[in-house]
Structure 1
C-alpha cells in the first residue's frame, strides 16, 4: 500500500524536475516564493547542493530583496562546510533585519558547529525570547549546554519543552540522539519513562528504551522493553530485531535465532539479519547451520561482506585454507576498510608461511586502525614467528610513542631483546613494564620462557611484586 507521504515525495520530485527542464530551456517562467522555497528545500533535503544553488540564484533574480533566499544560501554554505561564509552572510543580513529569528537561529547553528558556544547561546536566547513556538530552540540550547558539559542546565531546557512536543514520534528520536551524543544514558531512560507514563503504548519510546538498556549492557531490561514493543505491534519487525540483538549479546543464542527469524521482512535488508542468525549458529558450534545462513545471506545480497567473512571463519576452522582465502579476499573486495578482514587474512598467510602477504595485510590493518594496540602486537608476533625478531623490535619501537601507556608493549619489547641477547635493553624495558603493571609479569615469559630460570630477571620482578 502506498503511503500519502510517498505521493507528496513523487509530486515534489516531478516539480523539481520540471523546474530543471524550464531552467535549462532558457524560457521565461514564473514561480511564487512558496513554490521556489519548496523546490530549494527539496534539493537541500536530498543534498543536491549544486541544484539548490541554481534554484537560489534563479529565485534571487526574481525576488532580489527577499531575505528568505539569503537564509537558504547560508544553509547551502553550511551543507558545503563553509561555516565562515554562512556566518558572514547571516551577520550581514542580521544588521538589516535584527528581529529575524530565522537568521538568529541559523547563526546560532553556525556558531555551535564552529564550537563558539557562548555566541551560539546568545543567538538562541534571542530567538527563544521572540518565538512563541520555541521547542526547537530549547532543544538547541540543551545540545549546546551538553557540549559545554553543563548537563544540569541542558536537562533544565529539556524539561521546559512542552509535553505535547516531547511525545511526538520524530521528536523522541531527536531527544534520544541528543542524549546518546553526550553519553547521557541515565537521563535518556528517565526521559523515556516520562513519555511512557503519559503514553504507555508509544512504540518508539519502548523501542528506544530497549536500545538504551542494550547500550548499557542491561540485557534483561532491554529484552523486557522490546517485548513491550512487540506487544504493542507484533507486525513491526524492529522490536523482534532489537530483542534478537539483546539475546545474542547475552549469549542466549537459541532465543536470539527465534527473534531474528520473526524480524525478517522478505527483502534485501534481511541479509544482515541472516548473518546474525548465522553468527548465533557459530556460537552454538553448529558450523553447518551457520554456513547455510551465510550462503542464504549472500544469495539475497551478493555484496554483504560480513557473510563472506563468516564463511571464511568456518573454512579456517576446518583448515580449508584455499576456500578461507577466497572468502576473505571477496570480503575485502567489497569492504577494503574493515581492519578485521585484513587481520584474519594476515593470520591465514602466517599459517601458510607467506611472510610477504602476511606483513602486507597486517600493515594495512594497522593503517586502518592504528589505535588498536593488539594489531601491532599481532604484527610483531608474526615477525617473531618468521624469525624476523629485529624487525619485530623495530616495529614496536617505531610505534611506541602512540602506545606508551600500554604495559604490553614494554613486556614484549623486553622479551624480544632478551631473545636477541640484548640484556641491558631488556632490563630497561622490563623495569618500565613492571612500573606500569607488575602483576602482568608473566607476559614476559610468553615469548622468552627461558627467562623464568634467569636469577637477575627473577630478582627484578621480586622488587616490584613482593
Structure 2
C-alpha cells in the first residue's frame, strides 16, 4: 500500500464524505484515487476493520483494480490473517508477476509474522526495481525497527523523509528509533536542513518542532510550531502539538487556546475536547473540565480517556463513590492501562471495598508490571491488614523497578520491622538513608508508631552525623 501524501484536510474531507455514505446507506461515487486515500487514512489510523470494509466497497466498484487487490492482501496481513493475505497476493502475482507491490506485500506479511530477515529481503527486492519509492523505504524501516536494528531503520526512515517530508508517521517512527539508539541529540542538523532548504515549508517547521519536543526543548519546539502556524494558520496538527508543548510547561490556558484551534471550525474532535477537559482539570476548574469531558463523550461514547478524566475529577473533589463508576467504565473500555486500574483500586479502598481494591491493584500489576504504583498500593493495603510477608513480597517488585527511590526503601524497612525481620529492616534503612537522608521523616509519616523505636532513632542519628 503506497503511503498517501495528499493534503490531510482534503483527505479528511473525503473520508467524512465516505462515512456519511456508509452511515446513511447512500450511493456515492468515488474514483479509484479517492478510495486509495480513504483506505490509507484508515490504515494509518490502525483502523484495519474499517480499511477492509472500504476496500471491499471499492472492489465492488473497481473489481479488476490490481492496486485494490494488493491493498486487500496487505490489510489482511495487518489484521493477522496471514494465510488469507498469502492467498490473495499469490492470486495477484499470477496476474502481474513483475509488480513490485507483490514483493512489498510479501514483505509486509513477513514483518507482521515476525520474520524480519525475510521481510527485508522482499523489500530490498522491491527497492531494486523502484529505488525512489518512499513507501518501500518506510516499510524497510518498520522491518528493521521491529527487528530492533534501529540504525538501519533510521537510515531508511530518513531516506523516506528526504523523498517526501510530509509523512508524520515516518517522522514519529524515526524519532522513536533515534531515542531507542540514544542518537536523538546528534540529529538536529538533519531536521534543520529541511527548514534551511525551504523556510516557507510548514511541514518542515512542524517536523523540527516534533524533534525539539522529543528532546524536551520546549521553547525551541514552541518557536518551530509557531513558524508552521504562521505559514499555514489551518495546520491543525501543529496547533495540537503546540498545545501539548504548553501542557508540558504547565501553561494550561495557552494550551486550551491552541487545542481549540486544532480542528476545523465547528468540527471538534473527541481528542481535542478531552485534552481541553484535562487542562481545566489541572486548573482545578471542575465544572468546565466536566463539561468538556462530556462533550468528548457525546462525540465518542467509548472514549476511555474521557471516562477516566471524569473519575479523576470526582476523586480530586473527594467523591470516591461516584468516581468508581467512571473508573470502572474506563477499565471496561481499555483494560490494558495500569493507571486506570490503580485509580480504581484507590477509589475502592477509600470507600472500604478492600477486596475490590486488591483485585484492581492485582490487575494493575498484570497489565503494567513495570509501573511501581500498583505494587506499592497493593502492598500498603496488605500491610494495613497485617499481612506483612505478603506486603514485603509485593513491595520488593517496586524496589527492583526503582532501586534509587528512597521512599520505597523506607516503606520496605517498615514492612520488615513489622514482620520482625530486624537485620533486613536495618539494611533497608541504611540504603534509604544513604539515598536520601532528608526523606527519613516519611518513615514516621507512613508509620508513626515507629518513632518510638530507640534503635531506629540511633541509626538515623548516626547518618545525620
Same topology, TM > 0.5: yes
Aligned to 1:274: 276
The Cα shift of 1:188 comes to 6.5
Q: Distance in 2 between matches of 1:268 and 1:205?
A: 26
Change (3 A) 1:305 1:99: same
Alignment of 1:390-429 (within 5 A): 390=387, 392-397=388-393, 400=396, 404=400, 406-407=402-403, 412-420=411-419, 422=420, 425-428=421-424
- State whether residues 85 and 109 of structure 2, in contact with CA within 8 Å, keep that contact through their aligned partners in structure 1: yes
Cα deviation 1:197-256 (Å, max 9, x = unaligned): 222222233233323322322111111112212322334444444333222321334544
Aligned to 1:27: none
Cα deviation 1:53-80 (Å, max 9, x = unaligned): 79989999xx8xx987875664354133
Q: Distance in 2 between matches of 1:147 and 1:224?
A: 33
Q: Are positions 1:291 and 2:290 aligned together?
A: no
The Cα shift of 1:278 comes to 0.6
Report the 3-state secondary structure (helix = DSSP H, G, I; strand = E; otherwise coil) of the residue aligned with 2:370.
coil
Report the 3-state secondary structure (helix = DSSP H, G, I; strand = E; otherwise coil) of the residue aligned with 1:234.
coil
Q: Are positions 1:333 and 2:329 aligned together?
A: yes
Alignment of 1:45-194 (within 5 A): 47=49, 49=52, 71=70, 74-83=73-82, 86=85, 99-131=98-130, 133-148=132-147, 150-157=149-156, 160=159, 163=162, 165-167=163-165, 169=166, 172-184=167-179, 185-186=184-185, 189-194=188-193
Cα deviation 1:123-174 (Å, max 9, x = unaligned): 22222222264332233334444455555544554565595x324x3xx314
The Cα shift of 1:291 comes to 2.0
Q: Distance in 2 between matches of 1:229 and 1:135?
A: 23
The Cα shift of 1:108 comes to 1.9
Change (3 A) 1:18 1:419: closer
Aligned to 1:227: 226
Change (3 A) 1:376 1:91: same
Q: Are positions 1:389 and 2:390 aligned together?
A: no
Q: Distance in 2 between matches of 1:436 and 1:98?
A: 67
- State whether residues 268 and 300 of structure 1, in contact with CA within 8 Å, keep that contact through their aligned partners in structure 2: no
Q: Are positions 1:201 and 2:200 aligned together?
A: yes
Aligned to 1:243: 242
Report the 3-state secondary structure (helix = DSSP H, G, I; strand = E; otherwise coil) of the residue aligned with 1:371.
coil
Change (3 A) 1:203 1:450: same
- State whether residues 154 and 178 of structure 2, in contact with CA within 8 Å, keep that contact through their aligned partners in structure 1: no
- State whether residues 206 and 225 of structure 1, in contact with CA within 8 Å, keep that contact through their aligned partners in structure 2: yes
- State whether residues 80 and 112 of structure 2, in contact with CA within 8 Å, keep that contact through their aligned partners in structure 1: no
Look at both structures and tell me which one has the larger radius of gyration over its CA atoms: 1
Cα deviation 1:366-395 (Å, max 9, x = unaligned): 44433322222122223434xx122x4314
Change (3 A) 1:146 1:375: closer
Q: Distance in 2 between matches of 1:186 and 1:381?
A: 41
- State whether residues 248 and 280 of structure 1, in contact with CA within 8 Å, keep that contact through their aligned partners in structure 2: no
- State whether residues 214 and 222 of structure 1, in contact with CA within 8 Å, keep that contact through their aligned partners in structure 2: yes
The Cα shift of 1:436 comes to 9.2
| Structure 2 unmatched ranges of 5 or more | 1-8
Report the 3-state secondary structure (helix = DSSP H, G, I; strand = E; otherwise coil) of the residue aligned with 1:81.
coil
Q: When the two structures are superposed, what TM-score results if normalisation uses the length of structure 2?
A: 0.70
The Cα shift of 1:428 comes to 3.2
Report the 3-state secondary structure (helix = DSSP H, G, I; strand = E; otherwise coil) of the residue aligned with 1:200.
coil
Report the 3-state secondary structure (helix = DSSP H, G, I; strand = E; otherwise coil) of the residue aligned with 1:454.
helix
| Structure 1 unmatched ranges of 5 or more | 21-33, 283-289
Change (3 A) 1:293 1:107: same
Cα deviation 1:178-198 (Å, max 9, x = unaligned): 213424444765443222222
The Cα shift of 1:453 comes to 2.0
- State whether residues 142 and 154 of structure 1, in contact with CA within 8 Å, keep that contact through their aligned partners in structure 2: yes
- Higher RCO, 1 or 2 (CA under 8 Å, sep at least 6)? 2
Q: When the two structures are superposed, what TM-score results if normalisation uses the length of structure 1?
A: 0.70
Report the 3-state secondary structure (helix = DSSP H, G, I; strand = E; otherwise coil) of the residue aligned with 2:326.
helix
Change (3 A) 1:251 1:6: closer
- State whether residues 12 and 42 of structure 1, in contact with CA within 8 Å, keep that contact through their aligned partners in structure 2: no
- State whether residues 342 and 362 of structure 1, in contact with CA within 8 Å, keep that contact through their aligned partners in structure 2: yes
Q: Distance in 2 between matches of 1:253 and 1:72?
A: 42
The Cα shift of 1:275 comes to 0.9
Tell me the number of residue pairs that the alignment of Structure 1 and Structure 2 aligns. 423
RMSD across aligned positions (CA) = 4.9
Change (3 A) 1:273 1:453: same
